[in-house]
Chain A
Amino acid sequence: MKKRSPLLRALSYTRKRLPALFAAMLLYCASVFCTLRIPVFIGKAIDMLTDSGSMDLSRISSCLVTCAAYALANGLAMWLANLLSGRVVSSVVEEVRNDAFCNLQSLPISYLDTHPSGDTSSRIISDADIFTDGLLLGFSNLLTGAATIIGTLICMWRLDYRIAIVVVVLTPMSFLLTRLISRNTHDLFASQAVQRGVESSFLDETIGNQKLVKSFCREDERIESFREIDDELTEYSRRGTFFSSLVNPSTRVVNNTVYACVALVGGFACIAGTGGLTVGNLSSLLSYASQYGKPFNEITSVITELQNALTSAGRLFDLIDEEPEEPDAQDPASLSDVRGDICLSNVYFSYNKNEKLIEDISISAEAGSHIAIVGPTGCGKTTVINLLLRFYDTDSGNITIDGTDIRDLTRNDLRSCYGMVLQDTWLKTASIMENLRFGRADATDEEIFEACRLTEADSFISRLPDGYETMISSDSSTLSEGQKQLLCITRVVLALPPVLILDEATSSIDTRTELKVQRALELLMEGRTSIIVAHRLSTIRNADKIVVMKDGKIVETGRHEELLAKRGLYCSLYSSQFEAEENQEVHSD
Chain B
Amino acid sequence: MQLILRYLKNYKKECIIAPLFKLMEVVFELLVPYVVIRIVDQSIPAQDRGLLIRSFFLLMALSLIGFSCTLIAQFFSANAAARATGDIRKDLFRHIQSLSYSSLDREGTAQLMNRMSVDANSVSQGINMGLRLLLRSPFVVFGAMVMAFTVDRKAAMLFVIMIPVLTVIVFTVILASRPLYARVQKLQDSLLLLTRENLAGVRVLRAFRREEDEKEGFRENSSALKSAQLAVGRLNAVLNPATVVVVDVFISILIYRGAISVGSGSLTKGQVIALYNYMSQILVELVKLANLIVTLIKAATAADRIDAVMKTAEEPAGSITERGDTDIAVEFRDVSFSYGGSGKMVLDGVSFSLRKGEKLGIIGSMGSGKTSLINLIPCYYEASEGEVLFFGRNVLEWDRKALRSQVSVVPQKSALLSGTVRTNLLWGDPDANDDELLEAVRAASAQELISEKRGGLDARIEQNGRNLSGGQKQRLCIARALLKKAPVLIFDDSFSALDFATDARIRKSLSSLSWAPAVITVSQRISSIKNCDRIIVLDNGSVAGIGTHEELLVGCPVYAEISESQSVTGKEAVNQ
In the bound assembly, the distance between CA atoms of A293 and B251 in angstroms comes to: 21
In the bound assembly, the distance between CA atoms of A71 and B244 in angstroms comes to: 7
Assess the A79–B104 pair: CB atoms within 8 A: no
- Measured between beta carbons, the chain A residues less than 8 angstroms from B196 are 117-118, 121
Assess the B43–A271 pair: CB atoms within 8 A: yes
As a 0/1 sequence over residues 395 to 425 of chain B, the CB contacts with chain A under 8 angstroms (1 = contact) are: 0000001001101010100010110000000
CB within 8 A of A82: which of B199, B241, B530? B241
- Measured between beta carbons, the chain B residues less than 8 angstroms from A118 are 196
Assess the A214–B404 pair: CB atoms within 8 A: yes
Beyond the given A283-B276, A514-B565, could you list 13 further A-B residue pairs with CB under 8 A, ordered by the A residue number? Answer: A46-B255, A51-B264, A60-B259, A74-B244, A109-B202, A211-B380, A235-B82, A238-B79, A242-B74, A510-B365, A538-B573, A576-B500, A579-B500
CB within 8 A of A270: which of B44, B97, B380, B480? B44
Assess the B47–A271 pair: CB atoms within 8 A: yes
Counting chain B CB atoms within 10 Å of each CB, the highest count among A78, A578, A579 belongs to A78
Is A226 among interface residues, defined by CB-CB distance under 8 A? yes
CB within 8 A of B570: which of A45, A200, A582? A582
Assess the B90–A102 pair: CB atoms within 8 A: no
A-B CB contacts (within 8 Å), total count: 436
In chain A, positions 326-385 with a C-beta closer than 8 Å to chain B are 377
CB within 8 A of B49: which of A271, A422, A438? A271
- Size bracket of the B interface: 35 or more
Assess the A245–B263 pair: CB atoms within 8 A: no
CB within 8 A of B269: which of A46, A101, A105, A218? A46
Assess the A267–B43 pair: CB atoms within 8 A: yes
In the bound assembly, the distance between CA atoms of A104 and B194 in angstroms comes to: 13
In the bound assembly, the distance between CA atoms of A49 and B192 in angstroms comes to: 62
CB within 8 A of B259: which of A45, A94, A416, A589? A45
Given contacts A50-B262, A283-B273, A287-B280, contact A75 B245 (CB under 8 A): yes
As a 0/1 sequence over residues 245 to 273 of chain B, the CB contacts with chain A under 8 angstroms (1 = contact) are: 10011011101101110111100010011
Given contacts A260-B59, A580-B500, contact A71 B276 (CB under 8 A): no
Q: Can you list 28 contacts pairing A with B, beta carbon distance less than 8 Å?
A: A35-B244, A57-B259, A60-B259, A83-B234, A86-B234, A94-B222, A201-B463, A207-B116, A230-B89, A245-B132, A246-B74, A259-B32, A260-B56, A264-B53, A282-B40, A283-B273, A287-B280, A389-B206, A416-B209, A420-B204, A426-B201, A536-B569, A538-B573, A576-B500, A577-B499, A582-B570, A584-B527, A584-B567
Is B557 among interface residues, defined by CB-CB distance under 8 A? no
Assess the B206–A411 pair: CB atoms within 8 A: yes
Assess the B74–A90 pair: CB atoms within 8 A: no
As a 0/1 sequence over residues 63 to 88 of chain B, the CB contacts with chain A under 8 angstroms (1 = contact) are: 11011001100110111011101100
Closest approach, in angstroms, between the C-beta of A582 and any C-beta of chain B? 7
Is B117 among interface residues, defined by CB-CB distance under 8 A? yes
Residue of B nearest to A263 (CB): B39
CB within 8 A of B248: which of A57, A74, A426? A74
- Measured between beta carbons, the chain B residues less than 8 angstroms from A153 are none
Is B113 among interface residues, defined by CB-CB distance under 8 A? yes
- Measured between beta carbons, the chain B residues less than 8 angstroms from A245 are 74, 77-78, 128, 132
Is A496 among interface residues, defined by CB-CB distance under 8 A? no
In the bound assembly, the distance between CA atoms of A109 and B203 in angstroms comes to: 8
Counting chain A CB atoms within 10 Å of each CB, the highest count among B67, B259, B553 belongs to B259
Assess the B269–A67 pair: CB atoms within 8 A: no
Is B226 among interface residues, defined by CB-CB distance under 8 A? yes
Is B548 among interface residues, defined by CB-CB distance under 8 A? no
Is A562 among interface residues, defined by CB-CB distance under 8 A? no
Assess the A249–B208 pair: CB atoms within 8 A: no
Is B182 among interface residues, defined by CB-CB distance under 8 A? no
In chain A, positions 262-291 with a C-beta closer than 8 Å to chain B are 263-264, 267-268, 270-271, 279, 282-283, 286-287, 290
Given contacts A201-B463, A415-B207, contact A207 B256 (CB under 8 A): no
Main secondary structure of the interface of A (DSSP, over half): helix
CB within 8 A of A219: which of B98, B378, B499, B571? B98
Interface 9-residue window, one of B171-179, B211-219, B289-297, B353-361: B211-219
Is B352 among interface residues, defined by CB-CB distance under 8 A? no
Assess the B207–A420 pair: CB atoms within 8 A: yes
Is B191 among interface residues, defined by CB-CB distance under 8 A? yes
Closest approach, in angstroms, between the C-beta of A536 and any C-beta of chain B? 7
Is B542 among interface residues, defined by CB-CB distance under 8 A? no
In chain A, positions 118-161 with a C-beta closer than 8 Å to chain B are 118, 120-122, 124-125, 129
Assess the B89–A102 pair: CB atoms within 8 A: no
Residue of A nearest to B233 (CB): A86
Assess the B113–A204 pair: CB atoms within 8 A: yes
In the bound assembly, the distance between CA atoms of A42 and B250 in angstroms comes to: 12
Assess the B463–A214 pair: CB atoms within 8 A: no
CB within 8 A of A267: which of B44, B74, B469, B471? B44
CB within 8 A of B81: which of A71, A87, A241, A538? A241
Is A18 among interface residues, defined by CB-CB distance under 8 A? no
- Measured between beta carbons, the chain B residues less than 8 angstroms from A20 are none
- Measured between beta carbons, the chain A residues less than 8 angstroms from B404 are 214-217
In chain B, positions 80-130 with a C-beta closer than 8 Å to chain A are 81-83, 85-86, 89-90, 93-94, 96-99, 101, 104, 109, 112-113, 116-117, 124, 128
As a 0/1 sequence over residues 557 to 576 of chain B, the CB contacts with chain A under 8 angstroms (1 = contact) are: 00001111111111111100
- Measured between beta carbons, the chain B residues less than 8 angstroms from A271 are 43-44, 47, 49, 52
In the bound assembly, the distance between CA atoms of A61 and B254 in angstroms comes to: 11
Assess the A86–B561 pair: CB atoms within 8 A: no
In the bound assembly, the distance between CA atoms of A141 and B387 in angstroms comes to: 70
In chain B, positions 25-63 with a C-beta closer than 8 Å to chain A are 32, 35-36, 39-40, 43-44, 47, 49, 52-53, 55-56, 59-60, 62-63
Is A208 among interface residues, defined by CB-CB distance under 8 A? yes
CB within 8 A of A68: which of B77, B113, B248, B262? B248
Closest approach, in angstroms, between the C-beta of B487 and any C-beta of chain A? 15
In the bound assembly, the distance between CA atoms of A219 and B401 in angstroms comes to: 10
Assess the B113–A580 pair: CB atoms within 8 A: no
In chain B, positions 431-470 with a C-beta closer than 8 Å to chain A are 463-464, 469
In the bound assembly, the distance between CA atoms of A219 and B317 in angstroms comes to: 14
Assess the A121–B225 pair: CB atoms within 8 A: no
Is B161 among interface residues, defined by CB-CB distance under 8 A? no
- Measured between beta carbons, the chain B residues less than 8 angstroms from A170 are none
Assess the A125–B500 pair: CB atoms within 8 A: no
Assess the B252–A125 pair: CB atoms within 8 A: no
Closest approach, in angstroms, between the C-beta of B436 and any C-beta of chain A? 16
Is A459 among interface residues, defined by CB-CB distance under 8 A? no
Closest approach, in angstroms, between the C-beta of A203 and any C-beta of chain B? 5
Interface 9-residue window, one of A250-258, A305-313, A396-404, A545-553: A250-258
- Measured between beta carbons, the chain B residues less than 8 angstroms from A415 are 206-209
Q: Which 9 A-B pairs have the closest CB atoms?
A: A585-B570, A538-B569, A86-B233, A71-B248, A234-B86, A82-B237, A238-B82, A256-B63, A510-B366
Assess the B63–A253 pair: CB atoms within 8 A: yes
Assess the B206–A391 pair: CB atoms within 8 A: yes
Assess the B565–A580 pair: CB atoms within 8 A: no
Assess the B104–A76 pair: CB atoms within 8 A: no
Is A444 among interface residues, defined by CB-CB distance under 8 A? no
Residue of B nearest to A64 (CB): B252
Closest approach, in angstroms, between the C-beta of B314 and any C-beta of chain A? 11
Assess the A210–B44 pair: CB atoms within 8 A: no
In chain A, positions 531-589 with a C-beta closer than 8 Å to chain B are 536-538, 541-542, 576-582, 584-589
- Measured between beta carbons, the chain A residues less than 8 angstroms from B112 are 207, 210
Residue of B nearest to A55 (CB): B263
Given contacts A203-B116, A538-B573, A541-B569, contact A49 B86 (CB under 8 A): no
Assess the A79–B78 pair: CB atoms within 8 A: no
Given contacts A120-B199, A121-B199, A214-B101, contact A589 B567 (CB under 8 A): yes
Assess the A231–B86 pair: CB atoms within 8 A: yes
- Measured between beta carbons, the chain B residues less than 8 angstroms from A98 are 215, 218-219, 222
Assess the B366–A217 pair: CB atoms within 8 A: no
In chain B, positions 483-508 with a C-beta closer than 8 Å to chain A are 484, 496, 499-501, 503-504
Assess the A510–B78 pair: CB atoms within 8 A: no
Assess the B64–A207 pair: CB atoms within 8 A: no
